[in-house]
Amino acid sequence: MIVNRLIALDMPASTEFAIHVRNAWDAGDAVFPIDQRLPQAAKNALVAQIKPSLVIDETGNIVKSSDSEPTENHDALVIATSGSTGTPKGVVHTHESIQALLNLSQARLNTDSSTHWLLCLPVSHVAGFSVLARSILFGNPISILPTFEEADVLAKVNAGATHVSLVPTTLRRVDPAIFEMILLGGAAAPPDLPSNVITTYGMTETFGGIAYNGEPLDGVEIRIRHELIEVHTPSLFRTYRSSEQPTLVDGWYPTGDSGRFNDNVLQVFGRLDDMIISGGENVWPNAVEKIVSRFPGIERVVISGIDDEQWGQRVVAWIVSSQAEPPTLEAVRQHVKQQLPSYCAPTELRIVPAIPTTSLGKVDIQTLRNMK
C-alpha cells in the first residue's frame, strides 16, 4: 500500500524550494513549509506538533521522523496558521482547494499563464505559497526573493516582474506604481490606496483571499449571521492536522470575523475576540484605528483593549509618531469623538518606536503589550 507522506521544507523561498514541492506533488506527497523566522526551538516544537515524515533543510540534509503521520490522497499542503497568539494550527489543503482558489483569482484579475509574479513573502504563509503555486500549476514566470529588500524588489521589477502579493508593512517600503497590480492582505489596509492595489479578505483555511476589494470572487459565497462572517468556497481546507476538526454548518465555515455588507461590499470589523467591551459598550479596534491614523503626525496606530477593574476593558492606543512632540491623549480623544461615540476614544496613549508584526504583517499584540 502506498503511504502518502508529509515533507517538511525547512528552507527559504528559492528555486530549490519549488523543485522540492514539484517532486513531492509528483510522488503523491504533501509539503509543509517551515517559517524561517522561527528560532530552532520553535521549529522543533512545530515539527513535533505537525508530525511530518521527514524534514529537508536548505543544505539538502534529510532528517527522517520516528513519530510521523501520513497524509491522505489529494492532500497537497499543510500550512500553519499565522495568528500572533496561541498554538498554530496545521491547515490541510488539497490539490483541488489550491487549484480552485488560483482559478478564481486568475479569473477576477484577468491574468493568465504569461503573467510574471514576484514572490517576496514567506512561503510558510498562503500569501507567499500561492504565488509559487501559480508558477507550478499554471507555468507563470516567477521571480523569487527569500526576503523582502527594496533594492532586490526593484531589480526584479526591472527584470520583468509585474504582479505581486504584499502586506501593509512591505507596501510601505516600495512605490506601488512600479507594479501593474498588487494584492494586499495580511492585515488592515492603510487608507487612500492607489488604484493598482487590490485589498483581499481571506485566511489560511481558504487558501488566501476569497474577496477582492470587498467583493467575493465568482463561486464564493459570503454571508453574515449574528455579525459573524461565514464563507462557502471551493478553496476551503479539508481539515486540521490534529484532533481538532473544523466546525461547518451545511458546508459554511464560520471565520471568527465580524462584519457586514455595505452596498454589497464586505466590510470587516475584525476578529470577534478582538472586540473591546468597555463599560458594556462594544468598540471595534479597526474603526478607531482608521480615524486615529488620520491624525497629523501619526504614522502607525494599533488599538486594543486592556483589562480594567472599573470598565472591564479600557481602550488603549499604541502609536508611532513622526513628530518630535507626539500628540497628546486629549487631542487624539477629541479627534475620535468627532466621528465616533465618546466611549470609542482611547483612554490611554502609548508611544512606541515601531509596531511589532508577524512575518505576514499582522500585529504581534502580545509583544506590543509588553513594550515599555
Give the per-residue SS3 of 283-324.
Answer: ECHHHHHHHHCCCCCEEEEEEEEEEECCCEEEEEEEEEECCC
**For a pLDDT cut of 70, what percent of the chain falls above it?**
97
Residue 344 is given by DSSP the state G
State the residue for C-alpha cell 462572517.
229
Instruction: Please give the domain boundaries of the chain with CATH numbers for all domains.
Output: 6-269 (3.40.50.12780), 275-370 (3.30.300.30)
**CA pseudo-torsion sign 197, 171, 15, 56:** negative
Asked whether residue 200 carries a pLDDT value surpassing 80, the answer given is: yes
pLDDT tens column, 269-288 = 887 878 888 887 888 888 89
Whether 53 contacts 64, CB under 8 Å = yes
pLDDT tens column, 315-360 = 999 999 988 889 999 999 999 999 888 889 999 999 999 988 876 6
Asked whether residue 70 carries a pLDDT value surpassing 50, the answer given is: yes
Find the Cα–Cα–Cα–Cα dihedral 335, 315, 372, 122, rounded to 10°: -90
The C-alpha atoms of residue 140 and residue 252 are separated, in whole angstroms, by 32
Asked whether residue 107 carries a pLDDT value surpassing 90, the answer given is: yes
The per-residue pLDDT of the chain, averaged, comes to: 91
Q: Quick check: helix, strand or coil at residue 255?
A: strand
- Exposure string of 257-278, with b = 16+ CB inside 10 Å and e = fewer, is bbbeeeeeebbbbbeeebbbeb
Average of per-residue pLDDT across 140-148: 95
In this predicted structure, what is the pLDDT of residue 361?
67
Asked whether residue 372 carries a pLDDT value surpassing 70, the answer given is: no
Closest alpha carbon to 109 in 169, 174, 162, 170: 162
Residue 85's pLDDT band, with cuts at 50, 70 and 90, is very low
At 219, give phi and psi (nearest 5°).
95, -5
Q: State the amino acid at position 214 in one-letter form.
A: G
Average of per-residue pLDDT across 19-34: 97
